Amino acid sequence: MNKLIVLAYNEELGIEKTILDLIDHFEEIIVINDKSKDGTLEKIQNLAKNHAKVTIISNNKNLGPGKSMGIGIKQAISSPCEFIVKIDGDNQFKAEDIKSILSKASSKNADFIKCDRFWVGGVKGKIPKIRYLGNSFASLLIKIVTGNWKINDPLNGLFLFSYDLALKFKIPKFFNRYGYPFFINAYVSRLSIDNDYKLYQYKNQITYGSESSKLNPLTVFLKLIIFSISYFASTIKTKVKYSTYQLSGLIDLFALTSIVFSVFSLIMTLSTRYFGYQGNQGAWLILFVIMLSIFFLLIFQTQKILRFINEDKFTYLN
């Protein structure tokens, strides 16, 4: 038994086809209507009248895609199933890709499949330029904080979870609005330290129309930076519990200490230079450079270790 989560906000033009193209491949289709202002709700209500497997959850106010995703997961895990797939209701994802990852998940006994649209032929139509830039930055960030340099396109909204893995996580309020796919990829990577999960990637295709991006790039940028720092620090505790990851965890701890001293040294340098603090500006500046250099050397070393450990994670299925 497989379940489909469909996030819908003002998707009256694509929601009906999105559901009907996949309705024969899922035992339950959970549609989260995030207080749409157009005819989305009427469309899915009409579908539900003719298809008992369509479950509608309508938010009382617009909560954002991350919160809606969490609501969908909660509904999906309320009864056992094999796989849970999450898509958006705008009909940008190809039905063939969704059917394919279901088939491959079954044959590989997968726990998690994330998708990557940034390959030759992966993007059809005109994608907002800000998404290219944003995803390039997010891809670099996810590689550094997880130590897995195979992960690409961490903001892609097409996922597959096993039921057991879906039970393990909850999307935090911090990602109620935007950036929740980044959180999911990072958190699943951390879960794989404690569990022998089978994690994969799939090259999917997305079709874009003429719509412009509604994301605030500065907000997303700051959100990912803040989360990545917190994730990096908190993952150390998980790493040191297991011999395979202990060396990486200890190096991370030293790296974290180095960056703290580096920031402190920079503050002292600026204080002596601009705010009249009595101290040796040159000495503080030299300490800043040394500590920052040590930080980057340690990060490089831990990345080498994690690349080897994570060799079999997030391999491509196609």
Query: CA angle 187-111-15, nearest 5°?
Result: 85
Q: What is the pLDDT of residue 222?
A: 87
Query: How far, CA to CA in Å, does 120 sit from each of 151, 156, 204, 207?
Result: 17, 16, 11, 13
So where are the chain's domains? 2-235, 240-316
SS3 label, residue 140: helix
Please give the backbone phi and psi of residue 114, each rounded to the nearest 5 degrees, phi first: -105, 160
Q: What is the pLDDT of residue 298?
A: 96
Q: What is the pLDDT of residues 42-71, one digit of tens each?
A: 999 999 999 999 999 999 999 999 999 999
Tokens describing residue 232: 């990096």
CB-CB neighbours of 3 under 10 Å: 27
268 pLDDT above the threshold of 80: yes
Residues whose CB falls within 8 Å of the CB of residue 266, separated by 6 or more in sequence, listed in order: 284, 288
Q: What is the pLDDT of residue 212?
A: 54
Residues whose CB falls within 8 Å of the CB of residue 75, separated by 6 or more in sequence, listed in order: 5, 30, 55, 57
209 pLDDT above the threshold of 80: no
CATH of 2-235 given 3.90.1300.10, 3.20.20.70, 3.20.130.10, 3.90.550.10: 3.90.550.10
Q: Using the CB atoms, write b or e for 294-306: b if 16+ within 10 Å.
A: bbeebbebbbebb
pTM of the model: 0.90
